[in-house]
Amino acid sequence: MASKLKVATCSLAGCFGCHMSLLDIDERLLDLLEVVEFDRSPINDIKLIEGMVDLGLVEGGLCNAENVHVLKHFREHCRIIVSVGECAITGGIPSMRNHHALKECLEEAYIRGVGVENAHIPNDPEIPLLLNKVYPLHEVVKVDYFLPGCPPSADAFWHFLTELIAGRDPSLPLQLLRYD
C-alpha cells in the first residue's frame, strides 16, 4: 500500500467554522483516513510540523504576529498550501476592522466598551501583537489553491480533497462554488 499523504491544518483569524465543515464530511472521514494522516492540526493538538507534509489546509486570515509565524511555518513545511474559506482568501469578516485604525478598535473594545471595568488595553507579553490590518494569506506567502465558502460545504471539502489526492484539478464545480 502506498504511504499515506500527510495533511496539516490550522485556524488563524477564523472561527473554526471551516474545520467544523471538514468534520461534516461525517462517515467519509473514515474513507479519507484510509489515504491521509493528520500531522499538526487542532484535531490532534500537535503544535508543530516535523519534516515535510504534503498538504496544509489553512483557515482564517492574518490578524496578528502569531498568525504570520504559523503561516510561514506551514509554508516552509507543506508542499501544497490551500487557503480555506472566505477569511483566508479575502480577509473576511475580521478584515472589516481594516476600515478603522487599530487604536480605535482597541479603545472601542477595552476602554469605551459597555460594562468595561479597570479599562486598559491588554498588554500581556503572552498576547500576540495585532497587525495594523487584517490580510488574506496570499498577500504574505504563495498559496497554491483556494477553497472558497463561509465555510466551504462538507461536499466542497470532499470534492476538493478527493480530486487533489487523485492528482486532478480540484476546482469546484458550479454547484459547490459559494462565497457565503
Partner 1 sequence: MCPDSIKTFFLDGREIPFREGQSVFDAAMTAGAFIPHLCHNPDYEPHSSCRLCTVIVNGRPFASCTQPAVAGQMVQSDTPELREMRRVLTQMLFVEGNHYCPSCEKSGNCKLQATAYDLGLQDNHFPQFFPKRELDASHAEIILDRDRCILCGLCVRVSRDVDKKSVFAMTGRGIHTVIVVDSPSGLLKDSKVTAQDEAVQHCPVGALLLKGKGFDVPIGERIYDKAPIAEDSVAKFQAREAHIHG
Residues at the site binding partner 1, with contacts judged by CB under 8 A: 83, 86, 89-93, 95-96, 98-99, 133, 135-136, 138-139, 143, 145-148, 150, 171-172, 174, 177-180
Across the beta sheet with 36-38, what order do the strands follow? 36-38, 5-11, 53-59, 78-84, 145-147
Nearer to partner 1, 39 or 151 (CB): 151
CB of 150 to partner 1, least distance (A): 4
Which among 61, 46, 125 has a CA at the least distance from the CA of 93? 61
Q: How far is the CB of 48 from partner 1 (least distance, A)?
A: 28
- 123 forms beta bridges with none
Taking the complex as a whole, the smallest distance from the CB of residue 123 to partner 1 amounts, in Å, to: 26
Query: Residue 49 and residue 47: Cα distance in Å, rounded?
Result: 7
Residue whose CB is less far from partner 1, 8 or 89: 89
Pick the closer one to partner 1 by CB: 54 or 86. Answer: 86
Nearer to partner 1, 99 or 120 (CB): 99
90-109 core/surface letters (b: 16 or more CB in 10 A; e: else): bbbebbebbeeeeeeeeeee
At closest approach, how far in Å is the CB of 179 from partner 1?
4
Nearer to partner 1, 73 or 178 (CB): 178
Q: How far is the CB of 54 from partner 1 (least distance, A)?
A: 20
Nearest residue to 134 (alpha-carbon basis) of 88, 81, 72, 169: 88
